[in-house]
Chain A
């Protein structure tokens, strides 16, 4: 029996004329055809099957290695991201073993991730060891800015890639070797779509949104705001100059993710930083 459509090899469709009662066989797509193939070692294969043998069907398939079109069905149920997720779990275990936590900073380009990070490092790195994994498509500008604060940093350039994956972070951790009890910062590529899909082994995703963007970003990019545990609203010193409704933005954010922890701050003036720092200081592996 054909496993594709369930027809029987023996089934012979017929046409019966209602007046003359004459019955004749109909050639069907599934009428078995006989084939004989001789393999290089002289083995003769004879079999029946029904698919066509046009070259387009077997582009680079020698007739000697002839196969039946009704294939074997293999059920896999394999998650596409299983490899990434397995490495992310390793990273998570590695960090836990070193009593360290990792934060994955995500935002659109220009929201102020690096500025917030530089300010935070300057203010807090005397309290706790910190290292930074910087992700950008190109250049080491951001890693240079971080290193200027005295903090160990490594730059991952993803090339045409639009996000960091768990294997890149694994390599970064291997190279940086953060000391016991570290806070590892992972600054992702500026992108509000792809990084939502990829677990890096972080303790939390922190999405950064600046008041110079639209207040409806949370509902425009719901995957990212849903995947994050924390939202930081930055550049609040610019609020007098832009039409940004903070309350509406927070409403949208909580509509997408009612468990989101929200901070409002300015890395330039320092307004609101104390709440952000208090949250960071209570983070433990």
Chain B
């Protein structure tokens, strides 16, 4: 359950940037090739956000699909696991997308003055 620790980090980073404002929406990027389960993040988020300025915030999770680039021939190929085989036969692939683990955006409640 590393998702609990990660979610605690998400909440801490968001609170750092919220500067006392309520957070309405939080957008996360969790690549499909990371060993992180979005459902587990969602489950932990409700618990971790309780009693903070994030309570009730909408959690949006964007999940970029896996993409690899063959180190032998340079071709790109889609990946559904962190390894695979290029059409040229090589298994030496660089993962160029799908390992994101980022807080993209926060939408903060704005005071009307």
Residues of A within 8 A of B92 (CB): 258-259
Known A162-B1, A194-B2; contact A71-B108, beta-carbon cutoff 8 A: yes
Tell whether B42 is near chain A: CB-to-CB under 8 Å. Answer: no
Tell whether A30 is near chain B: CB-to-CB under 8 Å. Answer: no
Known A47-B112, A223-B35; contact A255-B83, beta-carbon cutoff 8 A: yes
Tell whether A257 is near chain B: CB-to-CB under 8 Å. Answer: yes
> Which chain B residues numbered 1 to 24 have a C-beta less than 8 Å away from chain A?
1-2, 5-6, 9-10, 13, 17, 21-22, 24
A81 to B101, CA, bound (A): 8
A60-68, A118-126, A127-135, A267-275 - interface stretch: A60-68
Do residues B91 and A78 form an inter-chain contact, with CB atoms below 8 A?
A: no
Q: Is the interface of A mostly helix, strand, loop or mixed?
A: mixed
A-contact bits for B59-89, CB 8 A (1 contact / 0 none)? 0000000000000000000000111010000
A59 to B49, CA, bound (A): 13
Do residues A163 and B2 form an inter-chain contact, with CB atoms below 8 A?
A: yes
Q: How distant is B47 from chain A, measured CB to nearest CB, in Å?
A: 14
Q: How distant is B106 from chain A, measured CB to nearest CB, in Å?
A: 4
Partner of B82, one of A66, A76, A222: A222
Do residues A76 and B22 form an inter-chain contact, with CB atoms below 8 A?
A: no
Residues of A within 8 A of B112 (CB): 45, 47, 49, 66-68
Do residues B35 and A194 form an inter-chain contact, with CB atoms below 8 A?
A: yes
Q: How distant is A65 from chain B, measured CB to nearest CB, in Å?
A: 7
Q: How distant is A254 from chain B, measured CB to nearest CB, in Å?
A: 7
| Total chain B interface residues with beta-carbon distance under 8 A | 36
> Which residues of B line the A interface, CB within 8 A?
1-2, 5-6, 9-10, 13, 17, 21-22, 24-25, 34-36, 55-56, 81-83, 85, 91-92, 101-113
Residue of A nearest to B109 (CB): A67
Do residues B102 and A78 form an inter-chain contact, with CB atoms below 8 A?
A: yes
Tell whether A282 is near chain B: CB-to-CB under 8 Å. Answer: no
A83 to B9, CA, bound (A): 9
Do residues B81 and A80 form an inter-chain contact, with CB atoms below 8 A?
A: no
Residues of A within 8 A of B104 (CB): 75-77
Partner of A74, one of B2, B9, B83, B106: B106
Q: How distant is B39 from chain A, measured CB to nearest CB, in Å?
A: 15
Number of A-B pairs whose CB atoms are under 8 Å?
A: 104
Residues of B within 8 A of A259 (CB): 92
Apart from A67-B22, A68-B111, A76-B103, what 14 extra A-B contacts exist at CB < 8 Å?
A59-B55, A61-B22, A67-B112, A71-B24, A71-B110, A72-B110, A73-B108, A76-B17, A76-B104, A78-B103, A80-B101, A163-B2, A194-B2, A255-B91
Residues of A within 8 A of B5 (CB): 161
Do residues A79 and B101 form an inter-chain contact, with CB atoms below 8 A?
A: yes
Do residues A67 and B111 form an inter-chain contact, with CB atoms below 8 A?
A: yes
Interface centre among B1, B10, B17, B83 (most CB of A within 10 A): B83
Q: How distant is B92 from chain A, measured CB to nearest CB, in Å?
A: 5
Partner of A68, one of B2, B56, B103, B109: B109
Tell whether A69 is near chain B: CB-to-CB under 8 Å. Answer: yes
Tell whether A197 is near chain B: CB-to-CB under 8 Å. Answer: yes
Q: How distant is B5 from chain A, measured CB to nearest CB, in Å?
A: 7
Known A197-B35, A222-B83; contact A68-B105, beta-carbon cutoff 8 A: no
Do residues A59 and B56 form an inter-chain contact, with CB atoms below 8 A?
A: yes
Do residues B13 and A76 form an inter-chain contact, with CB atoms below 8 A?
A: yes
Residues of B within 8 A of A177 (CB): none
A138 to B3, CA, bound (A): 20
Tell whether A92 is near chain B: CB-to-CB under 8 Å. Answer: no
